[in-house]
Amino acid sequence: MFQNFEEFQKISKDNAELALKNFNAVSKGIQTLAVEVADYQKKSFEQGAAAIEKLFAVRSIDKAIETQTDYFKTAYEGFVAQSKKIGEICADLAKETYKPIEAAFTKVKQ
C-alpha cells in the first residue's frame, strides 16, 4: 500500500509540473499574440491617419481616388500579412502547449 501511495505522489507531482509547463507555454503565446495585435493596431491607425491627411491635401477627385486606392491596397496587404503571422503564432502556441502532454504520454507508453 505504501508503494502505491508513493506512485500516487509521483503521478500528482508529474501532473502538476505538466500543468505548470502548459500554463507557461500558453501564457507566453498569449503575450506574444497581444504584442503582435497591439503593434498591428498602432501601425494601422498611423497609416489610416496619414491617408486621411493625404486625402485632405488633394485638390482633384482623380488624386483623391488614387490616394484612397493606394491606402486600401496597403491596408489589405498589411491585413493579410498580419493574419498569416497571427496564424503562425497560434500554430506555434498549439505545438508548444502540446509538447509537455506528448512527453507525458510517451512516458506512460514506456
- pLDDT of 24-65, one tens digit each? 888 998 999 999 999 999 999 999 999 999 999 999 999 999
More confident residue, 17 or 106: 17
- Within a domain: 55: yes
Q: Is residue 89 part of a domain?
A: yes
Does residue 64 fall inside a structural domain?
Answer: yes
More confident residue, 19 or 105: 19
pLDDT at 78 over 70: yes
Q: Note whether residue 51 is domain-resident.
A: yes
Residue 17 included in any domain: no
Could you tell me the residue range of the domain that residue 52 belongs to? 23-103
> Long-range pairs for 18-25 at CB < 8 Å and ≥24 separation?
18/100, 18/101, 18/104, 21/99, 21/100, 22/97, 22/100, 22/101, 25/93, 25/96, 25/97, 25/99, 25/100
Number of H helices, E strands in the chain: 2, 0
Q: Does residue 49 belong to any structural domain of this protein?
A: yes
- pTM of the predicted structure, to 2 decimals: 0.73
In a domain, 1, yes or no: no
- Asked if the structure places residue 39 within a domain, the reply is yes
How many structural domains is the chain composed of?
A: 1
Task: Look at residue 1 and tell me whether its pLDDT is greater than 60.
Answer: no
What is the C-alpha to C-alpha distance for residues 21 and 95, in angstroms, rounded to an integer? Answer: 13
Span of 8-17, 25-34, 84-93 with lowest mean pLDDT: 8-17
